[in-house]
Amino acid sequence: MSKLRHTRATFLAMLAIAAALIASPVPAGAGGGTETGAIDGANFIIQMPTVPWNGTLVLYSHGYVTPGSPLVARDAGDPATGGWLLANGYAIAGSSYSQNGWALQQAFHDQIALLDHFKSEHPDLKRTIAWGHSLGGMITAGLVQLFPDRFVGAIPMCGVVAGGPGVWNSGLDAEFVFKTLLAPTSALQLVNITNQGFGAGSNFQLAEGILAGAQGTAVGKARLALVAAVADTPGWFTTGSPQPAQNDFAGRESNQFLWDQQVTFPFVFALRAELEGRAGGNPSWNTGVDYGKLLDHSINKDEVQALYQQAGLSLDADLDTLAATPRVAAKPAALGYLEKYIVYNGDLDMPVLTMHTVGDGLVLPQDEQAYASVVRSEGDQSLLHEVFVSRAGHCAFTPGETVAAFQTLIGRLKTGHWGDSTSPAGLNALANGLGVVPFNPLPAAFVTFRPSQFLRPFDARNLDEGGDHRDS
């Protein structure tokens, strides 16, 4: 397998959520069974429990799927969790969405259409809980914001809950530092990408070549550490591996290189084009950004300083170069699209439990800080609890941890309060109590963790204050 094909295959594998439970082609009924079909071009799957249904539907939103892939409906993040839900009397359902890619607009419509369809077949539906992974976590948080009367609770998992503009701006920061310091005269496109795809001669392949070359020198590694710092990329990559020590700067940088090579660069240097096509142009900007100040707030500042010193390179000189380099402006209409799909307003009408791994370099745990901040601004912090798993990887939860989170939300719905239900010890006990197979291939690893500040926050408060940094 070529390096390019290997990189894309690894990227797709890390994005993939375990396949949904195998469906039998019969209509779903109160006595069990599976219904599949399509609504407005979106495939769907519904499964009913064989045990008595408890009147609750658990609606699953899947993560990002690369354009050109089949439209596959998923009703659970993994088979073990789906099986547990069915065995405990819950109905489960999910849509493929009518499009792949950054398809939030379609997902919101298609998930509500599926919910309407389910309600028409099961008028005794008592309540619906939303959950989802990655982009599906973003969709989950969006569903309960846009349609609060349709849900009683939600579990956005590893979700892009900092919102679209903030997350893509953070990606642009990494792109900007990467090109400016490592390939300023190259043809690498940061935005308005025309040289699309993953194939030979693509923008992505050009970026991968520059990345590989930089990783081969001490100077290149120092500058790649700065790229990681402005994006807050964690220095922990392989699921199941121990977290590198804080002073293991070489190990942290090596892991950040793997995040860039295998996961992040496909998004920022290739799949950004798909978003720009939807939005009608570039929605991201770095006008007014001071990269020295960004570095001051980064979790990786110590690593950058150490590697620059080891390489005999002037960090101040590189920051001066960044400061003097022309910035990228957003197209107002494109930014408007990304604001609509979606930024968060922090207004919660129901309990929401989020879950994130500490070592997630695709969707940062700092997204949770951004989400909590806007929720707190609305005075709804009592409805939100955020829990963290000490593990590397994107959405790298065990089924046991997922079921434990779901049980915790159900407990909150029953009692009206969280109590100490979200304590790491309690969650680990719940997860491990399910047994090793198939729920806990790794020991449950809930921990007390407080994410640092998301570096490029953007939410509904920016819109209300008129500070949305639109540039013509």
Q: Domains of the chain: which residue ranges?
A: 12-160+345-465, 164-337
277 CB contacts (<8 Å, ≥6 apart)? Answer: none
Q: Quote the pTM value.
A: 0.94
* H or E segment and range at residue 339: helix 332-340
Distances (CA, A) of 130 to 32, 145, 155, 463: 21, 11, 6, 26
d(CA 248, CA 38) in angstroms, rounded, equals 51
Q: What is 12-160+345-465's CATH number? A: 3.40.50.1820
Give pLDDT tens digits for 333-359: 999 999 999 999 999 999 999 999 999
Supply the pLDDT for residue 101: 98
pLDDT in tens, 409-457: 999 999 999 999 999 999 999 999 999 999 999 999 999 999 999 999 9
Taking only the tens place, the pLDDT of each residue in 180-215 is 999 999 999 999 999 999 999 999 999 999 999 999
* pLDDT for position 7: 44
* pLDDT class of 59 with cuts at 50, 70, 90: very high
Using DSSP's 3-state secondary structure scheme, residue 24 falls into coil
Tokens of 143: 């569903």
| Phi-psi category of residue 321: left, alpha or beta, with phi > 0 → left and psi -120 to 50 → alpha | alpha
| Chain centroid, CA 398 distance in Å | 17
